[in-house]
């Protein structure tokens, strides 16, 4: 499988990831301390640390370990293990597996692509062949601004979603152990963790689908003089010379 290369994350990506981990860690900390969410309760908890319950040290250590471990673990986790958590299946999870043939039609004609890459049709549109061919095109055009921006957006949303999912699971696991918490307070945290996870899930899926289409569009030359369109122009120029 030709997965996206696990290159070092850009600095901006790492900073956003760290900030998002810290914000979710703060939310989980407040929930475990039976405090409402917000900056003021967090500030009061920090100021009154010495007078707080002895469990505050344990809660802080657990939340800190989850945030730091999650951040570093996510940075080292291969892309092929991240994608199944977004599409809830392992085999042929990435939309690139149906880049050349799918029920969802892209806003352009894919026939020139099938003519340029007959191995896709010859394989009876096998998902692995489609994905391998798409990955080749992605690597070929990854310096094009449209594709580069799509890759950055996809990787960022993918990782933010995985952070949100991790903290949602941590919240759901800690809730039964935190039986004395006010149900109304618990449901407000469930709403926060749940909504952000769902929002990032659908945003990541949509961005990944756009990435697949953008790579094909660039190859077709729909997004400028690139790919097949560029090759045709070069052939015409050569014919004129002779």
Distance (Å, whole) CA 66 – CA 219: 42
Q: How confident is the model at residue 4 (pLDDT cuts 50, 70, 90)?
A: very low
Distance (Å, whole) CA 55 – CA 33: 8
- Furthest C-alpha separation in the chain: 88
Q: How confident is the model at residue 103 (pLDDT cuts 50, 70, 90)?
A: low
The answer on pLDDT for 206 being more than 50 is yes
Q: How confident is the model at residue 202 (pLDDT cuts 50, 70, 90)?
A: very high
Q: How confident is the model at residue 231 (pLDDT cuts 50, 70, 90)?
A: very low
Rg for the chain, CA atoms, rounded: 23
Mean pLDDT of 179-206: 94
* Residue-level pLDDT at 66: 93
| Torsion sign, CA atoms 77, 78, 80, 82 | positive
Mean pLDDT of 77-88: 92
Distance (Å, whole) CA 180 – CA 186: 10
Length of the chain counted residue by residue: 242
- What is the chain's mean pLDDT, rounded? 85
Distance (Å, whole) CA 29 – CA 18: 16
Cβ-proximal residues to 99 (8 Å cutoff; 6+ apart), any chain:
130, 131, 133, 134, 212, 215, 216
The structural domains of the chain, with segments of one domain joined by +, span 11-241
Please give the residue that has the higher pLDDT: either 52 or 100.
100
Mean pLDDT of 72-83: 90
* Residue-level pLDDT at 178: 83
Give the predicted TM-score (pTM) of the model: 0.84
The answer on pLDDT for 22 being more than 70 is yes
The answer on pLDDT for 215 being more than 70 is yes
């Amino acid at each position: 499988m030709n997965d996206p290369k696990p290159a070092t994350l850009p600095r901006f990506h790492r900073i956003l990831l760290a900030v998002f981990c810290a914000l979710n860690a703060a939310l989980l900390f407040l929930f475990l301390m039976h405090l409402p969410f917000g900056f003021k309760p967090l500030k009061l908890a920090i100021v009154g640390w010495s007078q707080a319950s002895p469990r505050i040290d344990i809660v802080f250590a657990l939340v800190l370990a989850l945030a730091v471990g999650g951040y570093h673990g996510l940075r080292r986790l291969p892309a092929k293990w991240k994608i199944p958590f977004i599409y809830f299946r392992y085999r042929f999870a990435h939309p690139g597996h149906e880049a050349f043939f799918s029920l969802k039609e892209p806003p352009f004609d894919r026939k020139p692509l099938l003519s340029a890459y007959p191995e896709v049709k010859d394989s009876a549109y096998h998902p692995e062949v489609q994905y391998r061919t798409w990955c080749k095109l992605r690597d070929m055009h990854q310096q094009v601004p449209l594709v580069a921006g799509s890759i950055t957006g996809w990787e960022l949303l993918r990782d933010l979603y995985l952070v949100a999912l991790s903290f949602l699971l941590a919240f759901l696991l800690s809730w039964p152990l935190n039986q004395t918490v006010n149900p109304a307070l618990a449901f407000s945290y469930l709403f926060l963790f749940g909504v952000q996870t769902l929002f990032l899930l659908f945003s990541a899926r949509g961005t990944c689908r756009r990435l697949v289409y953008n790579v094909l569009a660039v190859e077709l030359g729909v997004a400028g003089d690139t790919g097949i369109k560029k090759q045709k122009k070069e052939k015409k120029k050569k014919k004129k010379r002779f």
